[in-house]
Structure 1
């Protein structure tokens, strides 16, 4: 049957002639990604090599060892998942949860809710404890929940990207061991930038991402599993229900056997290797201190401008600051103004904080005094015009 004369053949219908890709320079001061370090970008552009090439296998070992350094752990099973941080998040639950397992999720923001959703999909019996978005859990609250629910797993967000809260970790791992509970920790917005001591804290599984404190583009999800978690994995009654994220299979590739599992994103691991090398050259404690200094510089400047911060200082996350949008200001219009006129990205609120806060990120390569001062200067000079934004001002900004 002939095609109607008005219809082009399928072979041509979707053909486009495009110019080579051109992207603007942006300063990414939102919740992530952050700007990648130039050395990392150069590594990403190198010619690929095979994922079983002896040189690549050597690089794999370097990445694993440097991840252990960044997390302060001796965990044998430490790998970068081929996927974003959400893939690494799901890997913790996919490998640990068997149908009917009790999973307790401590929800204090958007990413706690994501853990709940994932655990339910693996048919866990999910229980939650909750704090308002902007607060953290006390040790007593966690202990009471462990005693009440007696879960096999506690999942907790260390650095809640939606709220800018840093969860204190002292004593939580000890409580989990006392109750026979495995501890999963989300370090997506803390790895490489905020003090983490997985072994000292008694964390059994942790995950992160490549695009925040590690100054690498998105695409890899660091994952680590301790001995207690390995024992639960070995004792499963059936296969891990997610083939791609099955750590018992992935470990055959990332372990000493180097048995093929999937075609690894070799160039992403080139970038990860360089990002971690730069972190080790700086020194992890120096990186932690740099992020803290620059965050405090930002906090002081915002308060000097009369802006209110959503999180009390003792719980503030050095990598992500939530700033309350002043009354009468169209927060989205001002964010678009910063992006379109100055090439600076800041984030808006998620979930319960949507439309209420800006989220300002200072992560990895972007955590510098110059970036802090540049943003504060723009807020001081240009935010006043948006405080009582007329329709014409808002339209121009958009």
Structure 2
């Protein structure tokens, strides 16, 4: 069949909540030739990737690896591998992705309990502690940064609460990892899953995860088995089978481990990509990357405020890498997004649920957490809003953002 042109997507600047434009070195890594999945070069790359993500996650967990699939694949692998039918799971919900965790846990036949705060807020540790004492769950599943609301849930005190109550502590940190602090061991997290397509500067399609030994033991055994009858690492030693072959973390650990037991064919191109994302992050330095995201986020926030726009939610608990902007009365929010996309090649996001059509979400993450991207977005947004009849202080958004960058350079 002929007549299909080569891929030539327009040069979009992706300034939404993700995905974002990839780092050029990540794109180059993805064009690298393949080798066989058991070639010592390939298994060496796998080992390097595990080590890189241990450092990125700030953990000593041996079981740190990639799940082949989008960030949702990582979430599903963690939850379906740990949950048995009837297990109690507690999900604190402060945005769309808390609902996702609850749904996946329900599909694993957990007894799911939820607590909620209004979108735009986060939980206090005592709220979570009270719910844990009431529900007595096997597992707490929470999102660190929820892009639907732009809120960032503090985790520092929750691990100790879970430990004191013998609760597994799982976090989806897809939207926050890289651009915000994440201390897996220090905060006593038992399992974390993330994606590449936000602050890590890669494409969607690979989900790095890490698991504590406590979490690994739960996955490995599922039910207690009479001592000495079977090897607990053997499939027949488990209780009710995990309801997925592809997402069975016990089998995936054996594939990534020294045994190299065949489970799937590793997505080599995505492994190259995930490896390069981690290398770039660590070469720049974790604290430097977090600081870069904070400056970009602060500049974008200052810029939209200087234009007279209202940011959404509790600003004391927002992610550094995305800001919610309340759509002004009389402004056609989708027309603004369309004009930015088709006239300026800039993509910003809308939102979901109770915020659908009420806020825009503007991201500053990964490769796009840089001054020129922030300034171009603010100037273009001002132009589009003027086109809709808004009276705005000329250049105020760009000036405010420049002031933030100037202040950061002088620190």
TM-score normalised to structure 2 length:
0.89
Question: Where do 5+ consecutive residues of structure 1 fail to align?
Answer: 1-14, 390-398
CA distance in 1, matches of 2:26, 2:279: 10
Which SS does the other structure have where 1:75 is aligned? coil
Structure-to-structure mapping, 1:328-367, within 5 angstroms: 328-367=330-369
Structure-to-structure mapping, 1:79-90, within 5 angstroms: 79-90=65-76
Structure-to-structure mapping, 1:244-263, within 5 angstroms: 244-263=246-265
Structure-to-structure mapping, 1:1-398, within 5 angstroms: 17-236=3-222, 237-387=239-389
CA shift for structure 1 position 16: 6.2
Counterpart contact for 1:81–1:88, Cα < 8 Å: yes
Q: Deviations 1:186-242 (Å, cap 9, x if unpaired)?
A: 100111111110111111111010111111111101111111111211231222211
Counterpart contact for 2:159–2:187, Cα < 8 Å: yes
Runs of 4+ in structure 1 over 6 Å off: none
Residue 3 of structure 1: aligned partner: none
Which SS does the other structure have where 2:186 is aligned? helix
Counterpart contact for 1:167–1:315, Cα < 8 Å: yes
> Which moved further from structure 2: 277-286 or 256-265?
256-265
CA distance in 1, matches of 2:112, 2:270: 35
Counterpart contact for 1:328–1:387, Cα < 8 Å: no
CA shift for structure 1 position 387: 4.7
CA distance in 2, matches of 1:234, 1:268: 26
Counterpart contact for 1:157–1:187, Cα < 8 Å: yes
CA distance in 2, matches of 1:184, 1:316: 20
CA distance in 1, matches of 2:262, 2:220: 21
CA distance in 2, matches of 1:234, 1:19: 49
CA distance in 1, matches of 2:299, 2:9: 30
Counterpart contact for 2:78–2:249, Cα < 8 Å: no
CA shift for structure 1 position 149: 0.4
Measured on the aligned residues, the alpha-carbon RMSD in Å equals 1.3
CA shift for structure 1 position 381: 2.5
TM-score normalised to structure 1 length:
0.92
Q: Deviations 1:262-300 (Å, cap 9, x if unpaired)?
A: 111101111111111111100111101110111111111
Counterpart contact for 1:326–1:387, Cα < 8 Å: no
Counterpart contact for 1:327–1:387, Cα < 8 Å: no
Q: How many residues align?
A: 375
Counterpart contact for 1:210–1:217, Cα < 8 Å: yes
Which SS does the other structure have where 2:29 is aligned? helix
Which SS does the other structure have where 1:348 is aligned? coil
